[in-house]
Structures are given as C-alpha cells and as structure tokens.
A and B are shown apart, each in its own frame.
Chain A
C-alpha cells in the first residue's frame, strides 16, 4: 500500500463493504500509522446492495476519517438496468464493470487498491499483485508484467492505470483469523440471524426490500442464514448457518467443503465467466 502511495499520482482504495474490504481498510490505517492513508475510498453502488451495507459503509468511513466517494452508473439506472429483468451478465457489465470504469476515469485515478485474493477463483489465481490495465481498462492475461521478489514496476503512461491486490496471497481463512485477532468490525450480514428467504435457481436469496418481485404463491420463509460474501442482494446467496460470532464462523469454515464464491451467481453465468469479466475491466 505504501508502494502504491509512493509510486502513483492519484491512488484510490476500492471499498465494497465486505470482509476483505474491512481488512484492507484496517491494513491501510496500520500501514500509514501514525499518519493517515493518503487516498480516498471508492464504493461502486449498484443501488441493489443490502440496506445494511450502505449504513455500515457510511458509518465506518466517518468513524475512521476516510473521504468516501460513492459512484452509481446513472446512465444504467436511467435505462432501468436491474438484476430481475436483465440477466446477470448484462447487469454486472453495466452496473459494476462500466460503473467502475466511469469512476476511475472521471476522477483520474491511476492506481486502485482492491481486496481480491488468488484463492477465490481460478482466473484470479493468475492475477498480479500490481495488475496493469490499458487506457481502455482491459486486462490481458497473456501480456502481464512479470513480478519478481517484492519489486514492483509502477511505471505507467498517462491514461493507463493499475489495480493493486495486497491480499493476493491470503486465503479466506487467513482473512477470518485476522478479523478475529484484530477485532475488526463487520456488517452483521456475515453473522447468522433469522432472515426472510426465498429459493431461486438453487440460491437462498434474502428479500431485503419491497423491490423484490415475488413469484405468484411465493412467500419468504424465515430461516437462520448468513453470508460468506456480500454483493447485490438479489444475486448473492446466503448459506444456512447458525454461526453468529467470528470464532463460530472460523469453526464452520474449517468443516466446509464448498468454496467461498459458490453463492455468487455472476461467477457461473458463462463459461470462463470471471476471466471474461476481468478482461472487460471488472475487478
């Protein structure tokens, strides 16, 4: 993170409100202590995030003294793009990928810090820590810069930028152990509670507000569930769980045989799904 702050003109930290973002925020505060991190936070809001995520986001940013930039793809919103009437491929492209590109170029950020990890998904396993993007924000997996030792190449031409992933070599369990050790606050959605759930395409979807179009005869059922990852509520499946504290979650993870992003619909909507999204500029 210090390398990013020292090597670039205008860095930013992507903040998704999730647990990885929480760890990133914590690390940023530590990396620059007793000073303050010299970059703002950027949240790409699709307007379909859980209401609690938004409350939590604003509270944390204020409490930790970060400048928070929230970007919504207004154009996508005006076109009425939403996760119900559009398939998840089109929705993600417009409301997340396009929105992120807009935000980065509008503000002229030349480096964006993100919390992605190599253990999450196969194409992410090959991502660089400092991942170069062309001026069109594209990722070319065949033309990545070699990374040797801990020496990072921070040279870019005007208009180009890099995505930086300091947590590349962490695992999901590392993240939870770290949250436990450091007592990092998280959104309560990570912890089991009774929530209204409907089943859609094999996912347990929590009905977060009245925009959720119920099928005829469908009624949300109260179930004890929690989330392993947080995204847009209609596209993020909960898991049935009674783990209500960090140590209970760690215990549960150790017994689990299902990968973390399994509840994320957007990873599976096309073959080589994440790799394609990444080439287009998704985080």
Chain B
C-alpha cells in the first residue's frame, strides 16, 4: 500500500499540509467492547475530532440521527460508522468495519468489531490484523464476561498493547474511585495474559473528554488522551526473529527460459546470492535473481512482493515455502494448536476439514481436543466439541507435511484456517503451537504380499458396498440377502453391521455427533483392512453425515467404494419400527436418534439409489449385485 503522506490533520480539526517527504507510520487497532458501551460513538468521535469526516457524510448522519438517533437534535456520532441498515435499525454493530483517519503523527486504520456475543468471530477477524486493542468499558457496568473474552482473544491473537477506555464518566459525575476500581480489576485480570502494556484512560465518548483532547471535566486525571496513546504506542510487530520466509503463491513462467517463484515476503529479508532452503522438500539453493515489479532488486524485506529465481533447477510448487537456509521453519504433519471455532456447526474431532496455511493447503483432522478454555477464568475444561465462539487446544493431523513457525514467533506463517469440505464455510481459526513428534516415531512397514496378490489368490476384485439410510429403511435385511447372493456366487465376503459392531469394537461409543463420527471412522478403517485382505465388504450403517461417508470413500481407491442409498421416508420407517426405537425416541426415552433429534444428510450422488417403498428387499439385493457387475 502506498503511503498517503502529504496531508495531516491536527487533532483540533484544523488542516495543514505537511511536507511530502515525511513518511507516516500506520497503526492498525481494533476497537472492542460490549453492546452499548459506546464503541461506535467513540470511533465517531475519533473520526470527527480528527477532521476526517467529510461534510456531506456528516450531514447525512445528521439527517439519519433524526430518524434512528438517540441524541435528540445533536448528530448521533455512532451513525457515522454503523454502516449497514440492519445495524441502524437494531442499534448494534454487526460486522467488521475498517476506518481510516490520520493525524500529524500517524495514519490509523480503526477496525470496528461487533460487541454482541453472536458476532464474536468477527472480533477474531479484526484482531488478526491489529497491533493494538482499544477495549471499552462502561464505567457503570465494570468488567463484563465479554470484556474478558475480548481481552483473551486479543492476547491469544498476538496483540501486545492495550488501551482500556473507561467510558461514560460523565454519567457518574467523573467519579475517580469508580475508575480506579475498574482499572485495578482489569490490570489484575490482564496480568495473566500476554500483554506488554495496558493503559487505562477515563473518557466520555459523547462529550469527547480525554478522547482527542482534555475538556477539563476530569481534573484528577493527568495522563495521556486516547489519541495521544494511539499516536505514541510502538507499532511494529517483530516477525523478523525467525528469519526470511516467502510462501510461494505463484509459479511465474512466461517463457521456457524463465522460471520464478512469486509471493510476498512474510518475514525477514533476503539478498541476492543468499542460500535458501525450500520446505517441505528440504532442497537447498541460492537466490540468483530477485525480480521486482519493474526491475531486478538487490534485496527485499517483509511486506514486499517479489519473484525469486533460484540458482539450481529444483522442484518448487505453490504452497512451498522458501526460507533462509540458516534458520528454516519447522515441517510437520502433526502439531498442537489453539483453535477458535467460527461456525454455527460445532467442531467434530476426527472429521476431515480443509486447512489453509500461508499458502499451503492440506486435509486436516483434529485427532485430539486436549481442553477447552474458559475465557472468564482461563481454566482448562474437558470438552468433546467446540461450539461457535469457543476456544480450544487441540492436536491436529494433516495428510501431508507443511512448513510452519510457531504463531508466537510469526503470525503469518504460524496461522491457518479450517474450511468445511461441504459448505466451503470458513469454520475455524488456528494458531500453531509446536510440532508433535508422533509422525516421526511411527513408520509405515512395507510388506511383500500386498492387496493385489491377496485378491488374485481368491480370484476377486475387493470392494466396499456401503449401505446408508435411516433406521428401519431396510439396510440390515438387504445386506443379509446380498451377502447370501454373493456367497452363492462364490465370493469371499464380510458383513459389517452397525448394531453388531457396537457390541464390541465400538462398545465405548454413544450416539452424540462426535461419537457418530468416530464410529464411522473406525468402521471405514476396518473396511479398508478387509479390502486389503481381498474381501468384498458389505457395510450396513446409518452413517448419517456426508463428510464421514466421503472420508470412507477417500480411504479407498477409485471404484472400490459403492455408496448405496437405502431410501424410505421417515414416516414409513417410523411405521415399520422393527426394533421399537422410533417409539422410544418419540417418547423422549432415547436421545440423539437419527431422523428425530439428530440429522440425516442424504447422499447427493450415490452409485445406487433404492426406494424400499417400491422395491422388495430381494429385488433390491439383486439390483446391487447387477450394479456390482456392471461397475467392474
């Protein structure tokens, strides 16, 4: 981003032109607090008193004030910043807004984040970009749950500077003791967090007291105003400690003679001729050319976008990281991380998610949720899942090795997001702690007799026939008939039945969503072993979630997995009710029953769809045998 370094605005609103030579620093800060603490008003005050609000927008806010405002005929400053109509109507800030303003000393981007609990994830988003947190407290209410939560998120996300603005001092007669209590309470709470400094300021956003200037209402406070603190707090983040990092974004190959690797330098600096290592491959080379946007460069530093040409012909692809040879990043497929859950669907351990790192991409699985963190007490609680807005500490396994640095050392190369593989929603934000060594200790043992040899010995092509559907749809009956028919044809088969496995292998699992995910993971792994043994495996499980059926498919080779949807409407299944389970579930004696109080996700494109209200079980089994024959 270019620096707009010509203009400056004095904090009293008058403008003067500064010399075009002075380059002003940029500070990004997040402004957060609870509903009604006066966040938007404070931001409106900062924008207004620094002279950043254009006249026409000010007039428009004036018009809107008379419709939605709460300040009589005065302009409601919050309306300057609450952009979306829904916010105007409800009087709360929903999304993240980015506001620019500047003073003689600095340029600012104020990141305005939601106070309401259901939008906490937006605060997390804001915090990832911020160097400082401006935390607002209503002097009459003191420190609330939300204040603690926001402080913890800010600390976790690597923000080291905090300004605690104690607002609405005018409503308590500028009471010094009340301010002191809140300030002391907060500092004692924050001492357990990782902040470098916390400054408390008594303010009134409405009157402007101690925001940009001192109005004389609080003579007992002689410290700096909020704006002075914003102007003087140290703003740079030190990522350089871990050395040069360039996540490769794009392979630049305009012609056969040029092959460069483009990306933005995430940390450190590079010089022409410097030795580098490519991760995860570990190949080493040196930098032959640093190609800038218009010409070759001698060196490049963090934040610059460059294309590197290496001295040797080595294989580099998008997702790799080019790093200083002397201080390479870690490379792992198993690590511990803090995870902040952003989605309404809870996090399920063992489910597969897509993980995106600085530029690499991998399939991730949360192998263990170590604990959840109570944001009020910072206590560690036992947990099986994470709901939206919850923070947990987990172990995560990937399907490949990726380069990373611990988040505490490098925010850019130590972070990742998790994406749901079906909805494509961004569901989790992760901060990497350290690599786990498990991956290094368990080594795959190569065997001489393999799947194809075993299959050849019994003369068949192994596969999994996966029957999914509601309880009572007819899976067990059809599975039984199918196995008899295949057996009669001389096939070597095995039938894995949901109920039967729950008597043994899966005895420890219940019917909650996380247990259902683990249930299917085990069955899929067992089926894979049986395929390896050369068998035709019939799996008869409700298997309600698409993700897990997709997981089972992904374990096998193409053509080895046949998804058969045994379909009957819920009303029919309930009427059949062969095991009396629907009656129990309806009367509340059985919880988490699929179709009643636990969901079933219908297959989108199964290899075969059987409607058991139209096709008798015996014909259904024949249809599956025919499908099996045509597919091979």
Residues of A at the B interface (CB closer than 8 Å) are 2-3, 5-6, 30-36, 118-119, 122-123, 125-126, 141-142, 144-153, 155-157, 168-171, 173-174, 177-178, 181, 250-251, 253-259, 262, 271-272, 275
Contacts and interface: CB of A to CB of B under 8 A. Distances in A.
Interface string B47-82: 000000011110000000000000000000000010
B6 A177 contact: yes
B344 to A, nearest CB: 10
A152 B54 CA distance: 32
Interface stretch (B83-91, B269-277, B537-545): B83-91
Contact of A157 (B55, B94, B122, B424): B424
Given A118-B98, A123-B84, 8 more contacts: A6-B250, A32-B250, A125-B83, A125-B97, A126-B83, A149-B128, A169-B98, A257-B54
Contact of A148 (B1, B125, B262): B125
A148 B83 CA distance: 21
B155 interface: no
B17 interface: yes
Contacts of B98: 118, 125, 168-169
Interface stretch (B323-331, B373-381, B412-420, B557-565): B412-420
A173 B95 contact: no
Contact of B429 (A122, A148, A250): A148
- B-side binding surface: helix, strand, loop or mixed? mixed
Given A33-B293, A151-B416, A169-B109, A146 B99 contact: no
B415 A36 contact: no
Contact of B307 (A33, A156, A258): A33
A262 to B, nearest CB: 5
Given A125-B97, A258-B56, A262-B56, A2 B250 contact: yes
Q: Classify chain B: how many residues form its interface, as a range.
A: 35 or more
Contacts of B97: 118, 125-126
Contacts of B249: 2-3, 6
Given A123-B83, A148-B124, A254 B7 contact: yes
A173 B122 contact: no
Nearest to B98: A118
Contacts of A36: 254
Interface string B413-441: 00111010000111001000000000000
B419 A155 contact: yes
A226 to B, nearest CB: 18
A142 B121 CA distance: 12
B137 interface: no
A157 B419 CA distance: 13
Interface stretch (B278-286, B354-362, B447-455, B586-594): B354-362
Interface in B89-111: 94-100, 109
B5 interface: yes
Nearest to B60: A268
A147 B258 contact: no
15 contacts: A2-B250, A33-B307, A34-B254, A147-B125, A149-B415, A151-B357, A155-B354, A155-B419, A173-B7, A174-B2, A253-B7, A254-B15, A257-B54, A272-B84, A272-B85
B252 interface: yes
Contacts of B299: none
Interface string B278-308: 0000000000000101100000000001010
Nearest to A181: B2
Contacts of B95: 126, 141-142, 144
Contacts of A122: 81, 83-84
A125 B6 contact: no
A126 B99 CA distance: 10
Interface string B1-16: 1111111000000010
B22 to A, nearest CB: 13
A175 to B, nearest CB: 8
